[in-house]
Chains A and B, each alone.
Chain A
Amino acid sequence: MFVGLLFVYSSNVFPVEFDLREGVTDVSRQIQSLHQMSLAVCVIVGIGVFGAMFYSMFAHRRSRHPVPATFHESTKVELIWTLIPTLILIVMAVPATTTLIEIEDNSDSDLTVLITGSQWKWHYQYVEANIGYYSNMSTPQEQIDNLAPKDINYLLETDKPLVLPTNKKVRFLTTSNDVIHSWWVPDFAVKQDAIPGFINEAWTRLEVTGVFRGQCSELCGKNHAFMPIVVEVIAEEEFDAWIADQRLAMSLASETAVADRNQEWAKSELLQIGEEVFVSQCATCHQTNGMGQPGKYPELVGSPITTGPIEDHLNRVMNGKAKTEMQAWAPQLTDLEIAAVITYERNTWGNDSGDLIQPMAVYLSR
């Protein structure tokens, strides 16, 4: 707590910003100027209205103006202050409409990224290249709990950013696996809801390289605050190489996975790996001590799943449970990780089935 108090003032490293950011795309700049135009209109009208009020409060207070006037109606004046605001509004509507038409023009894209939200992480799928991965927040829990100093990108950092090329029209498709999320990167001025069962689209065209950060902006449950978005923009020439790298990394990973699943693992090894997986992935809901939260997240100690048939346990971890926050881990974890975490759950906190499941068994159930 004390460390946390001290670190509040690390925020001084940020220049204080009072205005909407300009962003890095043509659309975000247009939106900023629209914002500034409408703000200016409001300030000017506000000065007029508040000025009249303050003047009146000063000049027409009883000590200076003891006898009130008696006028209380004027159709002419009413007409004037109906028509003038209408004209101002029409003037404001014009740029808003043209910008909006541009934003809604999703045609002629060069690259499509399917963004799937789930509690509480994003999955990015490059549709043309058929590559996909999850992006989790990487801020350690100690920083959130004020036990460690907070990094500069506290809560806005992920284990794997979305990588996009410059000078391409990127089309984003958004959808969700559970509740509604919203994908927002302020610098791109892209905010699109991710709705389960439906697909939305948005686009951007990036001009500069760099790292840009955003957050989920629709309340999506407990860890809504912990669902950041990091986008790394790289030069368009490097993008193909990056895709090739990803392919290579995937095949290497699958080679490791093959090696892992062909190996027989000792229980102690599985327990150790399982604990790491459990703490990083499962403990958010089920708690580190496996006790869950009454009425919300089931207890794993002595539960029918962790002490019942191992097939059911495997099925639950692999496929999740419909209409609950328990998600399908099959696409997110390797065979080894799933085998390890199941073994861990069945042999910890007093669960003592002695069961052990090998990665190969997990693979065969895929």
Chain B
Amino acid sequence: MSTHVHTEAKSRHPLLRFASRWLMTTNHKEIGTLYLWLSFLLFFIAGALAMGIRAELAQPGIQLVEPDFYNQLVTMHGLVMVFGAVMPAFVGLANWMIPMMIGAPDMALPRLNNFSFWILPFAFTLLLSSLFMEGGAPNFGWTFYAPLSTTYGPPSTDFFIVGVHMMGISSILGAINIIVTIFNLRAPGMTLMKMPLFVWTWLITAFLLIMVMPVLAGAVTMMLTDRHFGTSFFDASGGGDPVMFQHIFWFFGHPEVYIMILPGFGIASQIIPTFARKKLFGYHSMVYATVSIAMLSFVVWGHHMFTTGMPLATELFFMYATMLIAVPTGVKVFNWVATMWRGSMTFETPMLFAIGFVMMFTIGGFSGLMLALVPADFQYHDTFFVVAHFHYVLYPGAIFGTMAAVYYWLPKWTGHMYDERLGKIHFWAATIGVNLTFFPMHFSGLAGMPRRIVDYSLQFADFNLLSSIGAMLLGLTQILFLYIVIKTIRGGKKATTQVWEGAEGLEWTVPSPAPRHTFETPPVIDHDQAH
């Protein structure tokens, strides 16, 4: 299919050829590249919004942005990071790597793949354009609680709803494609329990996506009809209930959190064995732990809502279920440590990012456990302690995870080694940045600073200044990352087929750079090759 498009394009003008190559491509590697570049762009946009937030919060008083615009920054930062930076980055990695890791020639549904990518630029143009509309962008937080987002939402809320629908369709179609590929296109001998963990975690993530993105779509559709068509799902005056919005939203929202972390688990499980030169410890328990985390994620949503006036029994249920998640998560961390144990480690940039991921994610896990205790949650809820918690989970989990993956596979994609010295500088600067930005937020939260406020009282000033300095540093380091990636694409030391001495798996049997088409005839899986 893809060859067809390719040959046809050859006869036209070079610009046309370029456009039609990227617009109409059905090649999994090219679509993967498109996803990765789009997510990179949106990562910078969402990051710039975060810089705006931190600049305003650097000192007490209002210096730069109006309160309402501040709320727009907070909302768009969250939405674009979640739906624009993290999710497309993971889908991009899945597109590039899953067919190569399971010995498939391409994704199972290549044209659908093209379609699900090209929805996204339109969805985000729509969403971001609301920043320039009269009345401003959505200003109700990425959680868009009713009635702030329904009855009191700005006119651009309708653009937001359409945007969310488009992203949802894109994610669902992408997820379907991934599941169908994994179920049908594995090379002979690649049984499910031989699949690399990155493929496993993505398979589970894809099921989560198919099960919760439609629920999000349902929630925004109810918002739309509440706003314009006289229903009152979330409006008490018509017999509805705003708290029900939160139940529906978090039924989506909690699995969504795992959607943003599970592929990161998979990436760490690929990288740590490679650089420890030792097989992953407890492959089977890693798979089972991931499955249990995914299943538990459907029964813990209430822990986001402890202050909404739940009955005691419900609070206890959600508290116990949430605490239970610590068990499989702990198993994963212990297994990574056991993989490192008595290995023979070297610390190239992907390994550094993977270790950084494990350590900082564990800190985020600890604060998550503390938040699960309902009485303590009454003090932590909706403070900067929560902001610190989820940034410690998501920055290392999703962003460090993606960066580790990019450094790990970039030689395979481009055929060049990246600049190791710059990569290490990037890692250390980013690690200092993350900790300087988010660690003080624990303290400002414990001291009583609510989240999503544009201005704060004086006792929070010192911690906020630290956070802001850290954020600026963190923002700058990502420009270095962009430079490193471009430099690698343009040249550098030739990468070997194997790339990493300790690497195992099918993707390391194809040449570097990986040719446009790989595994057109299925590879033979020998006994030890998988995971």
Contact = CB atoms under 8 A, between A and B. Distances in A.
Nearest to A42: B366
Most buried by B among A11, A42, A189, A190: A11
A16 interface: yes
A144 B455 CA distance: 8
A312 B345 CA distance: 78
Interface residues of A, number: 108
Contacts of A217: 381-383, 450-451
Interface in A1-17: 1, 4-5, 7-8, 10-11, 13-14, 16-17
Best-buried of B324, B339, B459 by chain A (most CB within 10 Å): B459
Interface stretch (A71-79, A266-274, A350-358): A71-79
B327 A34 contact: no
Contacts of A218: 145, 382
Interface in B273-326: 276-285, 307-309, 312, 315-316, 319-320, 323-324, 326
Contacts of A30: 375
A8 B369 contact: no
A132 B7 CA distance: 79
Interface residues of B, number: 102
A335 B369 CA distance: 54
B61 A4 contact: yes
Nearest to A9: B461
A39 B375 CA distance: 14
Contacts of B155: 295
Contacts of A86: 327
Nearest to A155: B457
B193 interface: no
Nearest to B341: A56
Given A34-B376, A81-B334, A96-B375, A145 B62 contact: yes
A146 B382 CA distance: 27
B355 interface: yes
Interface stretch (B32-40, B132-140, B200-208): B132-140
Contacts of A74: 282
A196 to B, nearest CB: 6
A130 B452 CA distance: 35
B333 interface: yes
B308 A225 contact: no
Contact of B375 (A65, A100, A152): A100
Interface stretch (B92-100, B146-154, B259-267, B482-490): B146-154
Contacts of A178: 147, 151-152
Contacts of B139: 221-222
B379 A295 contact: no
A186 B68 CA distance: 26
A72 B378 contact: no
Residue from A38, A182, A216 whose CB has the most chain B CB atoms within 10 Å: A38
Contacts of A17: 443, 446-447, 459
A281 to B, nearest CB: 17
A60 B309 contact: no
A186 B381 CA distance: 11
B346 interface: yes
A3 to B, nearest CB: 9
A236 interface: no
B382 A182 contact: yes
A159 interface: no
A280 B13 CA distance: 65
Given A101-B312, A144-B61, A200-B308, A61 B452 contact: no
Given A70-B278, A154-B457, A178-B152, A49 B337 contact: yes
Contact of B359 (A53, A60, A323): A53
A277 to B, nearest CB: 22
Nearest to A78: B285
Interface in B244-280: 276-280
B505 interface: no
Interface stretch (A18-26, A245-253, A301-309, A338-346): A18-26
Interface string B227-239: 0000000011100
A365 B453 CA distance: 38
B462 interface: yes
Nearest to A323: B151
A219 B331 CA distance: 36
B48 interface: no
Interface string A129-145: 00000000000000111
A200 B520 CA distance: 63
A295 B134 contact: yes
Contacts of A195: 242-243, 308-309
Contacts of B345: 56-57, 60-62, 65
Contacts of A52: 337, 341
A107 interface: no
A65 B457 contact: no
A99 interface: yes
B238 to A, nearest CB: 10
B253 to A, nearest CB: 15
A47 B369 CA distance: 16
Interface string B57-69: 0011111000110
Chain A interface main SS type: mixed
A17 B324 CA distance: 31
B454 interface: yes
Contacts of B282: 72-74, 77-78
A31 interface: yes
Contact of A57 (B243, B320, B338, B355): B355
Contacts of A93: 319-320, 323
Contacts of A362: none
B362 A60 contact: no
Nearest to A119: B152
B358 interface: yes
A366 B262 CA distance: 60
Contacts of B375: 27, 30-31, 34, 96, 99-100, 103, 189
Contact of B457 (A8, A85, A153, A220): A153
A196 B330 CA distance: 40
Contact of B376 (A38, A104, A296): A38
Contact of A11 (B63, B133, B461): B461
A220 B136 CA distance: 16
Given A38-B376, A180-B242, A295-B133, A146 B61 contact: yes
Contacts of B459: 11, 14, 17
Contacts of A31: 375-376, 378-379
B457 A196 contact: no
Interface in B88-142: 133-136, 139-141
Nearest to B333: A49
Contacts of A39: 370
A180 B158 CA distance: 21
B456 interface: yes
A271 to B, nearest CB: 28
A78 B68 CA distance: 51
A154 B60 contact: yes
Nearest to A3: B61
20 contacts: A1-B63, A11-B462, A21-B446, A27-B375, A45-B366, A49-B333, A56-B340, A57-B340, A60-B343, A73-B281, A73-B283, A103-B378, A178-B151, A197-B235, A198-B241, A198-B243, A219-B140, A224-B453, A293-B135, A295-B136
Given A145-B62, A197-B237, 9 more contacts: A31-B378, A46-B363, A65-B343, A68-B277, A73-B284, A100-B312, A155-B457, A218-B382, A222-B139
The 9 closest A-B pairs by CB, nearest first: A197-B236, A295-B135, A295-B134, A200-B309, A225-B453, A11-B461, A42-B366, A69-B342, A72-B279
Interface of A: 1, 4-5, 7-8, 10-11, 13-14, 16-21, 27-28, 30-31, 34-35, 38-39, 42, 45-46, 49-50, 52-53, 56-57, 60-62, 65-74, 77-78, 81-82, 85-86, 89, 92-93, 96-97, 99-101, 103-104, 143-146, 150, 152-156, 178-180, 182, 184, 186, 189-193, 195-198, 200-201, 214-226, 293-296, 323-325
